[in-house]
Amino acid sequence: MFKNRRSTLRGQADPALAEAAQWLARADLGTLDEAAFEQWRAADPRHALAFARVADAARKATFAGQDGRAATHEFQVSRRAAVAAGLGVLALGGGALVAGKVSARDRAATPVGGTQRIVLPRAGDLILNTDSAASWRRNRQGLSLWLERGEAALDLTDGAGPVHLRGKRGGARLGPGRYNARLREDLLDLTILRGQAVVDETGGGEAIQKPSALLLGSGEPLVRGLSDQDIAETLAWRDGAILFVDEPLPAAVVEYNRHLVRKIIIADPRLKDLHVGGRFDADDPRGFLRALETAMDVQVSMSDREILLYRKRA
């Protein structure tokens, strides 16, 4: 039965089968774009049927492989992908693909104002900052880690294999060490505090070792050195703090609002030229607001929904 199915697939009587096989391969590699898959699946009823056929063939090939008959099946998908695809097909009838099951990733996320520490399998610690999300999966090549939203710190243990960190567009292989990663729009801002990183593709395979920051995802990586001040600012959130050194007030407010459900709003445009400095609690802006009131002639008006900043009247 499987031989006839494979012959049909090879003949490519339906181009949707080849496309479905590509989606299944992307799921196995962990590069599946969930929104793009859903758009493709919904565009034509034949697409969902084609994916179901491909996943079913992969699943049967996996079981056949137990007696030696799956070594040369058409799509050469792994057993992990076949089993995961079987889970994904169950969701197709409901109108959506559960991509987390298809790609067999573990996931963690934090709310606004929350942090979380996760022990990565045989790799080290992942610490998620406020309003952040990440997923990871281990395979024969090592551990792959996707930063999906927000910011994360990585403490990778000595002796662990490389960790492949990926953002929305850029990525790098990380050796043992200490790192900080933050998504800025579609770009991955990677700070190397200790260790080394090999940038994907455009990086040319060169290992970057000294403390530095890389902006990845827009052609050649942009590399900048780190001062002691930069390092202190990067590490502050791990201790529940925010550190500003001569920071423009609008930028400081944006940074603070990442941690706050009740947002700070600059209601008076005359305040936008102010610069602030100091170390403050990330989840409690009262110290920050007091500093603005006492040192910068800022009037603070608080309500249940927002915190408004004005210039004090003379």
Reported as a single tens digit per residue, the pLDDT across 36-81 is: 887 888 788 788 888 888 877 766 654 554 444 433 333 344 434 4
What is the rounded CA–CA span in Å between residue 21 and residue 245?
52
Higher pLDDT, 45 or 202: 45
Alpha-helical regions (H) of 178-314: 228-235, 249-257, 286-296
Question: What per-residue confidence (pLDDT) applies to 29?
Answer: 63
| Sheet-wide strand order for 177-184 | 116-120, 124-128, 151-156, 177-184, 187-194, 212-216, 222-225
pLDDT beyond 50 at 83: no
pLDDT beyond 50 at 82: no
> What average pLDDT does the segment 131-145 reach?
88
Helix (H) or strand (E) holding 82: helix 79-92
* pTM of the complete model: 0.67
| CB-based contacts of 82, cutoff 8 Å, min separation 6 | 55, 58, 59, 61, 62
Question: What per-residue confidence (pLDDT) applies to 164?
Answer: 93
The answer to which of 85-94, 174-183, 238-247, 258-267 has the lowest mean pLDDT is 85-94
Question: What per-residue confidence (pLDDT) applies to 53?
Answer: 83
Mean pLDDT of the chain: 80
What is the rounded CA–CA span in Å between residue 146 and residue 166?
5
Reported as a single tens digit per residue, the pLDDT across 220-238 is: 888 989 999 999 999 999 9
Query: What percent of the chain has pLDDT above 70?
Result: 77
Question: What per-residue confidence (pLDDT) applies to 211?
Answer: 87
pLDDT beyond 80 at 266: yes
**pLDDT-derived band of residue 204, with 50, 70 and 90 as boundaries?**
low
Q: Is 36 helix (H, G, I), strand (E, B) or coil?
A: helix
**pLDDT-derived band of residue 30, with 50, 70 and 90 as boundaries?**
low
pLDDT beyond 50 at 98: no
Question: What per-residue confidence (pLDDT) applies to 18?
Answer: 84
**Amino acid (one-letter) located at 65:** G
> What average pLDDT does the segment 144-151 reach?
94
Reported as a single tens digit per residue, the pLDDT across 151-175 is: 999 999 987 788 999 998 889 999 9
